[in-house]
């Protein structure tokens, strides 16, 4: 019998047998995660990790539009604009540190975590779900890391995952923010199993009796179905040809010369993105390919995030997309060729006492 343990404006927490379920409850904001939500989820997961009555955790989102569209970037924008506290105490630094540690907690959790990536899953939503042990997608799933379009970069350890996608598909996704559906998410190793929307209602009861990875896996397989065919695998040839190594300027040149329709669409997206974000993102994903542990990506992501909030393009990108909504960001520099190695390197420097550490 399901029991509600907590219900507030942001989270719904329920118990059903061995199952504990956290539902992000901000459907009007596509369940965008706030600092308070990250703090509360961290406390719950830590409590349940040592609770012998808990066998499995389920993460999902309220409403039908999306699991989580990312972090509350409006709050980050307002905090960055105020600049009334030190860098260590500022909301962006505290939010990212808390969010990234929560993501790693999910990645390293001792008990099975099942994340339902139904509907829109972007940014922070990827961080909450794509590091879970079992990542469920549906026919409504649309997964993306579109941060280069707002002067940021694919953070939340996404580069660690994207760097391990087949060929150079991960680089393509990071530099374009292209949305992928269920089949592509499975082929890119961003998800594990496809469950039809109509069967999601059966998920809590299925998991309520599970106490091991084997039982969770078997339960999910009983609900699963084959998704529609993957699209990216059919475009792999031009993606690998255009994104397979070299400087960003070389990639742009190859895209210009490529006759594939998808290549021209990718080029159009990249023309509108922050030039600095594109170069920083490319450097980040190539670094992530060399990392042995996901924690290394989060340490690097934290450095980049703090550099972004102290710079120009991220604030300008939020202004153009969220605040004024004029969709006309004025990037600095505004050309890829003007983004020097020094500008890129600035995003990867140690942040001293603010360096992210994990227990």
Integer Rg of the chain from CA: 20
CA distances from 12 to 25, 99, 174, 179, 270 (A): 6, 18, 32, 28, 38
Of 70, 71, 151, 262, which one is the catalytic site residue? 71
Q: Determine which helix (DSSP H) or strand (DSSP E) holds 298, and give its type and residue range.
A: helix 294-310
What is the distance of C-alpha 337 from the center of its chain? 28
CB 306, CB 352: distance < 8 Å: no
CA distance 37 to 91: 14
Q: Determine which helix (DSSP H) or strand (DSSP E) holds 4, and give its type and residue range.
A: strand 3-7
Tokens 């105490």 identify what position?
89
Task: Supply the DSSP string of 87-125, one letter for each residue.
Answer: TTTSHHHHHHHHHHHHHHHHHT-SS-EEEEE-BEEETHH
Of 124, 181, 262, 317, which one is the catalytic site residue? 124
CA distance 129 to 356: 21
Of 155, 192, 235, 301, which one is the catalytic site residue? 155
Active site residue 147: yes
Exposed, middle or buried by CB within 10 Å (0-12, 13-18, 19+), for 166? middle
End-to-end CA distance of the chain: 35
Q: Exposed e or buried b for every residue in 126-142, given b needs 16+ CB within 10 A?
A: bbbbbbbbbbbbbbbbb
CA distance 9 to 28: 11
Which phi and psi (to 5°) does residue 14 adopt? -130, 155
Which phi and psi (to 5°) does residue 32 adopt? -55, 135
Tokens 């990536």 identify what position?
117
Neighbours of 301 (CB within 10 A): 26
Q: Determine which helix (DSSP H) or strand (DSSP E) holds 217, and give its type and residue range.
A: helix 213-223
Of 10, 60, 99, 147, which one is the catalytic site residue? 147
Active site residue 71: yes
> Catalytic positions, please?
71, 124, 147, 155
């Amino acid at each position: 019998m399901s029991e509600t343990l907590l219900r507030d404006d942001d989270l719904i927490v329920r118990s059903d047998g061995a199952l504990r379920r956290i539902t992000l409850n901000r459907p009007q904001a596509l369940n965008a995660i706030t600092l308070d939500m990250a703090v509360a989820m961290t406390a719950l997961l830590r409590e349940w990790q040592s609770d012998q009555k808990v066998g499995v955790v389920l993460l999902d989102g309220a409403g039908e539009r999306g699991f989580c569209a990312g972090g509350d970037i409006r709050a980050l924008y307002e905090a960055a604009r105020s600049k009334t506290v030190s860098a260590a105490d500022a909301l962006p630094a505290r939010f990212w540190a808390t969010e990234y540690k929560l993501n790693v907690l999910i990645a390293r959790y001792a008990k099975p975590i099942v994340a339902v990536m139904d509907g829109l899953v972007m940014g922070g939503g990827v961080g909450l779900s794509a590091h879970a042990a079992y990542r469920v997608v549906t026919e409504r799933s649309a997964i993306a890391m579109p941060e280069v379009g707002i002067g940021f970069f694919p953070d939340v350890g996404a580069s660690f995952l994207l760097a391990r996608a087949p060929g150079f598909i991960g680089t393509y996704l990071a530099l374009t923010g292209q949305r992928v559906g269920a089949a592509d998410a499975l082929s890119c190793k961003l998800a594990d199993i496809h469950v039809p929307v109509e069967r999601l209602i059966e998920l809590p009861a299925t998991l309520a009796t599970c106490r091991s990875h084997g039982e969770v896996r078997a339960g999910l397989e009983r609900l699963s179905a084959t998704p529609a065919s993957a699209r990216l695998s059919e475009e792999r040839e031009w993606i690998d040809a255009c994104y397979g190594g070299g400087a960003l300027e070389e990639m742009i040149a190859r895209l210009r010369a490529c006759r594939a329709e998808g290549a021209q669409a990718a080029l159009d997206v990249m023309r509108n993105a922050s030039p600095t974000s594109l170069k920083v993102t490319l450097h980040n994903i190539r670094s992530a390919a060399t990392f042995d542990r996901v924690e290394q990506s989060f340490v690097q992501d934290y450095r980049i995030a703090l550099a972004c909030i102290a710079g120009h393009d991220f604030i300008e990108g939020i202004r153009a997309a969220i605040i004024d909504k004029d969709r006309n960001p004025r990037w600095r520099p505004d050309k890829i060729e003007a983004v020097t190695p020094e500008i890129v390197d600035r995003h990867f420097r140690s942040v001293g006492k603010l360096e992210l550490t994990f227990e």
